[in-house]
């Protein structure tokens, strides 16, 4: 077992990596999954690959985004596209650890959302979690200003130097994003 972590920007992704991510996500989510062009649709994103003997066994990404909260703008990293191809081998935990180290070194807040059934995995892997946190972060359409809240997803996060998560959780105000479904 020779485990390594590879970190790439969206522009550096190979067609093979994009195809693997799309195949894996399609297998995981079935017919409701829509094929992605990660190079184009995930501009300014950072991808993490866990490799075992040079074969990708897990992947995930950060999307650079801005949250508006209490009149201020916060630049954070949205945790997304987490998938372990080979389960039960600790690869998911290795992936989350690598992503957490990246966040810690950068001092950035990382925030993602997951189905409540998956929350315990993220907690065991080292991220903090908050039940139904998606109710506190709402998509605001940049063109129309219309709010599109989502429900029934837990938050998984790493608290950065900006202490944004603590600020959101300590009050009742909503944070707004102009990036839907990161």
- Whether 162 is covered by a domain: the verdict is yes
In a domain, 182, yes or no: no
**Alpha carbons within 13 A on the beta-carbon side of 167:** 18
Residue 157 domain-assigned?
A: yes
Identify whether the C-beta of residue 176 lies closer than 8 Å to the C-beta of residue 67.
yes
- pLDDT, one tens digit per residue, over 5-28 is 999 999 999 999 999 999 999 998
Lowest model confidence (mean pLDDT) among 11-15, 35-39, 100-104, 175-179? 35-39
Does residue 33 lie in a domain region? yes
Using DSSP's 3-state secondary structure scheme, residue 47 falls into strand
| pLDDT confidence tier of residue 68, bands split at 50, 70 and 90 | very high
CB 154 within 8 A of CB 119: yes
DSSP letter, residue 134:
G
Instruction: Give the C-alpha separation, 156 to 92, whole Å.
Output: 14
**Residue 165's pLDDT is what?**
97
46, part of any domain = yes
Residue 33 pLDDT more than 90?
no
Beta carbons of 96 and 133 less than 8 angstroms apart = no
Q: Give the Cα separation of 45 and 40 in Å (integer).
A: 10
Residue numbers of the domain that contains 98: 3-177
* pTM exceeding the 0.75 threshold for the entire prediction: yes
**pLDDT at residue number 35:** 84
pLDDT 10s digits, 103-159: 999 999 999 999 999 999 999 999 999 999 999 999 999 899 999 888 889 999 999
Residue at 21 is within a domain: yes
The tally of domains found in the chain comes to: 1
Distances (CA, A) of 148 to 1, 8, 75, 81, 139: 45, 31, 21, 21, 5
28 belongs to a structural domain:
yes
* Amino acid 166: pLDDT: 97
Asked if residue 56 belongs to a domain, the reply is yes
Q: Give the pair of three-digit tokens for residue 1.
A: 């077992």
Confidence (pLDDT) at 141: 92
For residue 72, give the nearest of 173, 141, 142, 180 by alpha carbon.
173
DSSP 127: -
Give the helix/strand (H/E) hosting 63. strand 55-69
Rounded to 10 degrees, what is the CA torsion of 151, 157, 161, 165?
30
CATH number, domain with residue 97: 3.40.630.30
Mean pLDDT on 92-98: 97
Q: Which residue has the higher pLDDT, 16 or 180?
A: 16
């Amino acid at each position: 077992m020779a485990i390594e972590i590879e970190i790439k920007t969206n522009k550096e992704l190979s067609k093979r990596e994009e195809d693997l991510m799309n195949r894996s996500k399609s297998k995981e989510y079935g017919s409701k999954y829509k094929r992605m062009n990660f190079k184009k649709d995930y501009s300014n994103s950072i991808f993490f690959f866990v490799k075992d003997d040079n074969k990708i066994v897990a992947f995930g990404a950060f999307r650079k985004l801005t949250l508006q909260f209490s009149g201020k703008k916060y630049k954070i990293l949205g945790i997304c596209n987490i998938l372990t191809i080979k389960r039960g081998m600790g690869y998911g935990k290795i992936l989350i650890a690598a992503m957490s180290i990246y966040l810690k070194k950068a001092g950035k807040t990382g925030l993602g959302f997951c189905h409540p059934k998956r929350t315990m995995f993220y907690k065991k892997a080292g991220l903090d979690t908050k039940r139904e946190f998606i109710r506190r972060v709402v998509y605001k359409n940049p063109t129309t200003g219309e709010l599109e809240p989502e429900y029934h997803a837990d938050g998984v996060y790493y608290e950065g130097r900006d202490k944004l998560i603590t600020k959101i959780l300590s009050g009742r105000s909503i944070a707004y994003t102009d990036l839907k479904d990161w």
